[in-house]
Chain A
Amino acid sequence: MRLRFARALAPLLALALLLGVGACSKGNAGKIRVAYVTNGSVSFWTLAAAGAKKAGVDLGVDVDVRMPGDPTAQQRVIEELLNLGIDGIALSPIDGKNQAAMIDEACARTHFILHDSDAPGTKRRCFVGVDNYEAGRAAGKLVKEALPNGGKFQLFIGRLGQDNALKRCQGVIDEVFGWTFDPARVTGQDQVIQEGGFHFLGIRVDGFDEAQAKQLAEASLQQVPDLGCMVGLFAYNTPAILEALRDAGKLGQVKVVAFDEADASLQGILDGHVHGTVAQKPYEYGYESVRILKALKQGETDKLPADGFLRVPFTVVKQGSAQSFWDALKAQLAAAKSSG
Chain B
Amino acid sequence: MKKSKILFYGVMGLVFFMGANYVWAGKITIKGSTTVLPIAQKLAEAYMKEFPDTRISISGGGSGNGIKAIIDGTTDIADSSRFIKDKEVKLAVEKGRYPVPFSIAYDCIVPVVHPSNSVSDLSLAQLKAIYKGEIKNWNQVGGPDRKIVVISRDTSSGTYEVWEKKVMKKERVFPGALLQASNGTVLQAVANNKNAMGYIGLGYMNSSVKALTVGGVVGSEKTTLDATFPVSRPLYMFTNKWPTGDVSKFIKYALHPEKGQQLVRNAGFIPLY
Asked if A pairs with B, the answer is: no
**Chain B contacts to A: CB under 8 angstroms:** none
**Chain A contacts to B: CB under 8 angstroms:** none
